[in-house]
Amino acid sequence: MIRNFLSLLLTIFFLASCANIETASIETQAVNAKTISSAPSLSEKSFDQTLESLQQEIEHRGLKIFAVIDHAQGAANMGKEIRPTVLIIFGSPKAGTPLIEENQLIAIALPLKALVWQRDDGTTMVTMSNIHALAEAFNITENAKIIERIDETLQAIKNEAIAP
């Protein structure tokens, strides 16, 4: 299932890169891992506590969790082992819709994502979508107030999730 989802996502990225759009060239809208995510933050909690806290904080703020993807479980299903790595896909249509109305291609990066992962040394990290970088990459300029509110919410969620 995860494999099919990833294949579909890669296909969408490919098709989007082939599209001819009038608002800006694909090159100016290219997004890479360095710009779509925030710098990793060290959690003061265990992996499981951080994951639970993050999910609770997302829901507490009225956001919807659309999916939770456990990459380590997916690897285990294939007989492989990776460190704990869980992706949470979440958001709010109320906040996301105006951004998509401004530039429909930002929908490839929405809903927002949070990654809880464990380093080699056993510490837990949290990395989240970087809404400012996404707005810049997709030339979102008319919805600056929404971008600021999303950023403030993301920072608050992360800070609560990683605090002891």
Phi, psi of 40 (to 5 degrees): -60, 140
pLDDT greater at residue 3 or residue 33: 3
What is the share, in percent, of the chain residues with pLDDT greater than 70? 79
Residue 124 CB coordination number (10 Å): 24
| pLDDT higher than threshold 80 for residue 18 | no
| pLDDT higher than threshold 80 for residue 23 | no
What domains, with CATH codes, occur in the chain? Answer: 2-162 (3.30.310.70)
pLDDT digits (tens, 9 = 90+) for 110-143: 999 999 999 999 999 999 999 999 999 999 999 9
Model-level pTM? 0.78
pLDDT band for position 37 (50/70/90)? confident
